[in-house]
Every structure is written in C-alpha cells, then in structure tokens.
Amino acid sequence: MRSLRSAAKYPNLESLRIFHKEHRAKIILFGVFTTLSGVIALALPIFLSQVLISLTGGDYDRLAYLSAIVFGLVGAIALSGMAAEYYYTVTTNDLFLSIRRKITYRTMSMNLSAVYEKGSGFFLERMNEDSREASAVHLNIWRAVISLVINLGFIGYITVLNVFLGLLFAAGLALLMFLEYLRVSRLLENMKKSKRAVEKVKTNEAEILKGIKEIKGLNAKKPVIDKHTSISSKYVDVKYEREIYQKKMQNLIDVVKGGIDLSIILFAALYLLPNNMAELAAVLIIYMYKGNIYGLIAGLARIKDTYVNGELAAKRINDIIQAPANEVDTFGDRPIDGKIETIEFRDVSFEYSKGKKVLDGVSFKIDGAGVIGLVGKSGSGKSTIFSLLARFYDATGGRILINGEDVSSLAEDDVRGSITPVLQDPYMFNDTVMNNLLFARPDADAEMVMEACRAARIHDEITAMNDGYDTIIGEGGATISGGQKQRLEIARILLKDSEVMLFDEATSALDKNNLEQINDLMIELSKERIIMVIAHRLSIMRRCDRVIVLDEGRIIAAAPHDELINTCEQYREMFRKNAAVEPPK
C-alpha cells in the first residue's frame, strides 16, 4: 500500500528502488537494528519510572534489579544503534556508487546535442550531489518512521501517567510540527532554484579550467571573473533567501520550545502532588526525552522533506538514466555482416538546428578498400559527414547505408567498433601514455602498443619522456605538443585497427617529415580498408582514389585528383593556393 501510494506520488524515487536489489541484505540488517534499538528505547522509560517508584517505596531489592535492567537496556540501545549506523553508512555509500556508475554510464549514451546543450554542471551535479541525496532517501525515511513510532510511544506513556500533562505536551508538539512543516515546504521551492543555480556555477567553473590557456593568452581574467561573479551571485541570492528564512523560523521554533518547557515546569510545580511519584516520573521522562521528542517533530517534517527532496534528486537522476529518446543515442540491433565493403550516402541532409541545412542532398558511394579525400571550404560540412558516419548525430533526411543496411538499424558495437574517426584535436585523459593508448584497445599488450607508436612515429618521443610510457599526460593532454597528441591519436586508431578510418585534419600539426610518413601509412592502410581523409594540406589528395568536393553542404564534384584539376574550377583554385604554401613533393 505504502509503496503504491509513494509510487504514484514520488514515481522517480520509486524507480530508484531497482538499485536496492543488490544491497538488499544490508538494507534489511539496517532495518532490523534500527527497529531493535527503537523498541528497546521505548521500554526504557517504563523501567526508569519504575526505578523512581521503587525508590520512594523503599523496595531496594527491586530497585537493584530494575537498575540492572536499565543498564542492560542502555547497553543494548547503544550496540544495536551502532550496528544500525554501520549498515546505514555502508548501504548509503554502496548505493551512491551504484547510482553514480549508472548515471555516468548513461551520460556517455546521451547524444552530443543533448550533452552540449545541457553543459557539464548539469551532469556533474547529478553524478555527485543528487546521487548522494538519493542514495540516502529510503533509509532516512525508514529511520524517521521508526523514530516516529518510538516517540509516539513516549507521548502515550506520559499520557498514561498523567493525562493533562500528556495533552499539554501533545498540543505544544502540534504547534511545533506546524511550524516545522511551514519551514520545510517553503524551502523546497528554494531547493529547486538553488540546484539549477549551482549547475550554472559548476558549468562556468569547469569551463574556466578547460579554457585556462585561452584566458591567460587573451589576458581575459577580468571579463571571465565578472561573468563568474554574476553567475555566482544568482546562486548566492537564492542561498541567502533560504538561510534568512531558516534563521527566522528556527528562532520562532526555539521560542515555542521554551514555552513548552516553562508550561511543564509550572504545571509540575502547581498541580502535581510532590508525593505522586508516578506523575513526577512523567515530568522526568519528558525532561529526559525532550530532545528525542523535539527531534521527532523535526523528523516528521523531515519525512515529507526527505520524500520531496528525494523525489527532486531522483527526478534529476532520471533526467539522465531515463532521458527521453530524442536525447539518447539510438542504435539498432543488427550486426554488420562480414567486412565493411560499401558505404553509401543516399540524398543525405542534415541540420544541427532546425531550418539551417548543413548538408543538402549529399550522395556518394564507396565500394571496397581505398582512400577517399574530402575537400571544401571551412564550414562546407566535411566534418559533419564524418560525424554522421560515426553516429555522433543522425541524418535528418535521406539514408546512410553500410553494406546496404541503414546505419540506424545497426548495433552500436558494430558501428562504433568498426568505423572510427581520428580527430584533429584529440582528447588525452589525465593518465599515463600507456593507458591513454590502451583505452582504444584494453586487451592489447605492451608490444602491440609500442608497435602502433612506432608506426605513428611517436615511439621515440615517448621513450625520451621522463617515465617513458608511464609518463602522466595532463588533463586534455596539456603537457604534450599538438603534433604529439595527433600522433598518439593515430597510434590509438592503429591499435584499434578499425575497418573504416576517418581522418579529420588528423595530421594538421605534423611537420613535413612526419606528415609524409603518416600519409604513406594511410595509403598502406587503405589497401585493405576504407580510409576517408579530410585535410587542408592537400598533398594527400593526389594519392586518393577519389576526391569529393563539398561546397555549402552540397557535393559539387567527385573524381580522382588528376581529373578534378581539369574539370573542377573550385578544386583547381583550392589546390593552386594550397600548393603556394605547401609545395607538393
């Protein structure tokens, strides 16, 4: 029943229960020990008041016996409380890990448009803060419910000892509860705003770190810090609003608590007979457990708070793990049959944002191994063609066929496992050179890695580094040169040994000697696979089987170099200008 109701009211929170499965035993142990310590705590005041009564009755044997029980109970509460806390900590930490793992994995499955649009803060906050919050929600609620039952028991017991005192106390508590409820519900709206504001701050800060070189190079600290301050101050405003309200409410709550204390003392002094030990016991119990019971009030308000905040965190987590279909990479389940023999673009069009066509009616077919060049002015759509082949984006019109099969029907591992782009500005992770290479092929051995590095003409430079292949290259490859990064990326693709390789300006930072060697390598590789190459340094185009010339998203010519030089005005012009800066061999 409870789970049905919470499913309707807190559907996102409910959906996170799938993470509980693998931690079920620990969750049950947490519940058992929490309940146990609660039940024992409830028995304690009964024995305590009996101690008081036997003290006045002069029954010392009974007193000793009861005192022993009280000590035993206190010990048992401590032990079971400790066990409960242990399982609470272990379980929430494990849940945190499981949820984080899932979010991070799913983040990598979101499509690039969604990732770029949302910004890094969106993801980082969810991987960290929301996961942390969501991993504790269910256990916190369990804890709050158990504490609720125990403390209601206390109030019941006080009422049995003295009805008026019980009612007085209950009335004071009702008022406290109302105030707590007010406090919490006002805060929820603020929490939502606050989380959105934090995301923006985090995105901005991640960008400052990524762009640190540009900031220094352009001497742009001032505008950057101004933007940071403006974004941060929006967050601080929301935080200020929350903190001031919290403090106001806290003061009010403290006044009410003081009022309850005073009433109980006055009531005890004025109405309770000094020799009525049972009733004095009630006062004593109130004093001993006041803290707990006030805690209960906060706890009660917190159940709602925990649910609603937890639902918010869970919703934010589901923004990623249950992202809508249009934000997720979509693949089919068909395998690619055998080796990739043909790639065909059939009347393909594409727009990154609605209404702005970047590719328009692009058609070409590659049949069998060889090198195909792609040239055109900056912005003509060359990289976009590669992005569609690597399935970074989906064509918005027409079809892309691999071995005659629509690429959208093919399985992710088959497409991404065999068609690999080699980027101009590749990303290196903050790890060793070796691990940065193995990331392309985890099962390769050191010899294979070195072999690839020799072919990519980077091996000697790696062995000359301080720790050779174990040298750590900074985040993004900050500690190596642009040309080294490009050659490491080429080593990666050699290790990966994909059937189709897409070189996008992958040699732009190489010196002439390295460039020629890598060009030779590409020609060698093309003997048994399809190679596509985009290069502003056009020397490689002479050696291509065919060159496709793009202009404003359309193919204006496609033929071998020698033919294009004679038939395509734009190509001839491009080649002539290029030869002036980059004389052919």
Ligand X SMILES: Nc1ncnc2c1ncn2[C@@H]1O[C@H](COP(=O)(O)OP(=O)(O)OP(=O)(O)O)[C@@H](O)[C@H]1O
Question: Could you list the residues that contact Mg ion (CB under 5 A)?
Answer: 383
- Which of the choices Mg ion, ligand X, none does residue 513 contact, using the CB cut-off of 5 to 8 A by kind? none
Residue 421 in contact with residue 112, Cβ under 8 Å? no
Give residue 304's Cα distance to chain centre. Answer: 26
- Which of the choices Mg ion, ligand X, none does residue 45 contact, using the CB cut-off of 5 to 8 A by kind? none
- Which of the choices ligand X, Mg ion, none does residue 438 contact, using the CB cut-off of 5 to 8 A by kind? none
* Minimum gap (Å) between residue 22 Cβ and Mg ion: 44
- Please name which of 141, 184, 151, 130 lies closest in space to residue 39, comparing C-alpha atoms: 151
Distances in Å between the Cα of 314 and the Cα atoms of 5, 11, 242, 319, 449 are 17, 9, 22, 9, 42
Q: Of 317 and 547, which has the nearer Cβ to ligand X?
A: 547
Q: Judge residue 184's burial from the number of C-beta atoms within 10 Å of its C-beta, 0-12 exposed, 13-18 middle, 19 or more buried.
A: buried
* Minimum gap (Å) between residue 582 Cβ and ligand X: 16
- Which of the choices Mg ion, ligand X, none does residue 352 contact, using the CB cut-off of 5 to 8 A by kind? ligand X
* Distance in angstroms (rounded) separating the CA atoms of residues 531 and 522: 7
The residue count for binding ligand X (CB under 6 A) is 10
Give me the residue label for tokens 């060009």: 519
**Please, which of residues 365-404 interact with ligand X by CB under 6 A?**
376, 378-384
* Minimum gap (Å) between residue 380 Cβ and ligand X: 4
In terms of DSSP bridges, do strands 546-551 and 370-376 run parallel, antiparallel, or are they unpaired?
Answer: parallel
- Which of the choices Mg ion, ligand X, none does residue 384 contact, using the CB cut-off of 5 to 8 A by kind? ligand X
Residue 375 in contact with residue 558, Cβ under 8 Å? no
**Please, which of residues 306-345 interact with ligand X by CB under 6 A?**
none
DSSP 98-127: HHHHHHHHHHHHB-HHHHHHH-HHHHHHII
* Distance in angstroms (rounded) separating the CA atoms of residues 471 and 432: 5
* Minimum gap (Å) between residue 515 Cβ and ligand X: 18
- Which of the choices Mg ion, ligand X, none does residue 173 contact, using the CB cut-off of 5 to 8 A by kind? none
Q: In what order do the strands lie in the sheet with 546-551?
A: 419-422, 500-504, 530-534, 370-376, 546-551, 554-559
Which residues in 171-255 belong to E strands, given as ranges? Answer: none
* Minimum gap (Å) between residue 122 Cβ and ligand X: 17
* Minimum gap (Å) between residue 374 Cβ and Mg ion: 9
Q: Of 121 and 376, which has the nearer Cβ to Mg ion?
A: 376
Residue 399 pairs in a beta bridge with 346
- Which of the choices Mg ion, ligand X, none does residue 466 contact, using the CB cut-off of 5 to 8 A by kind? none
Q: Of 358 and 530, which has the nearer Cβ to ligand X?
A: 358
Q: Of 151 and 384, which has the nearer Cβ to ligand X?
A: 384
Q: Of 6 and 508, which has the nearer Cβ to Mg ion?
A: 508
* Minimum gap (Å) between residue 534 Cβ and Mg ion: 6
Interacting residue with ligand X among 176, 184, 272, 358 (CB under 6 A): 358
In terms of DSSP bridges, do strands 500-504 and 419-422 run parallel, antiparallel, or are they unpaired?
Answer: parallel
* Distance in angstroms (rounded) separating the CA atoms of residues 134 and 316: 10
* Distance in angstroms (rounded) separating the CA atoms of residues 519 and 534: 12
* Minimum gap (Å) between residue 502 Cβ and Mg ion: 11
Q: Of 45 and 381, which has the nearer Cβ to ligand X?
A: 381
Distances in Å between the Cα of 253 and the Cα atoms of 293, 324, 335, 429 are 14, 44, 65, 52
- Please name which of 565, 522, 527 lies closest in space to residue 540, comparing C-alpha atoms: 522
Q: Which residue is nearest to Mg ion (CB)?
A: 383
Q: Of 204 and 383, which has the nearer Cβ to Mg ion?
A: 383
Q: Of 383 and 526, which has the nearer Cβ to ligand X?
A: 383
- Which of the choices Mg ion, ligand X, none does residue 496 contact, using the CB cut-off of 5 to 8 A by kind? none
Q: Of 50 and 383, which has the nearer Cβ to Mg ion?
A: 383
Q: Of 410 and 550, which has the nearer Cβ to ligand X?
A: 550
* Minimum gap (Å) between residue 386 Cβ and ligand X: 8
* Minimum gap (Å) between residue 382 Cβ and ligand X: 4
- Which of the choices Mg ion, ligand X, none does residue 80 contact, using the CB cut-off of 5 to 8 A by kind? none
- The answer to whether residue 352 forms part of the interface with ligand X (CB under 6 A) is yes
Residue 400, SS3 per DSSP: strand
- Please name which of 389, 470, 466, 483 lies closest in space to residue 437, comparing C-alpha atoms: 470
- Which of the choices Mg ion, ligand X, none does residue 140 contact, using the CB cut-off of 5 to 8 A by kind? none
Binding footprint of ligand X on the chain (CB under 6 A) = 352, 358, 376, 378-384
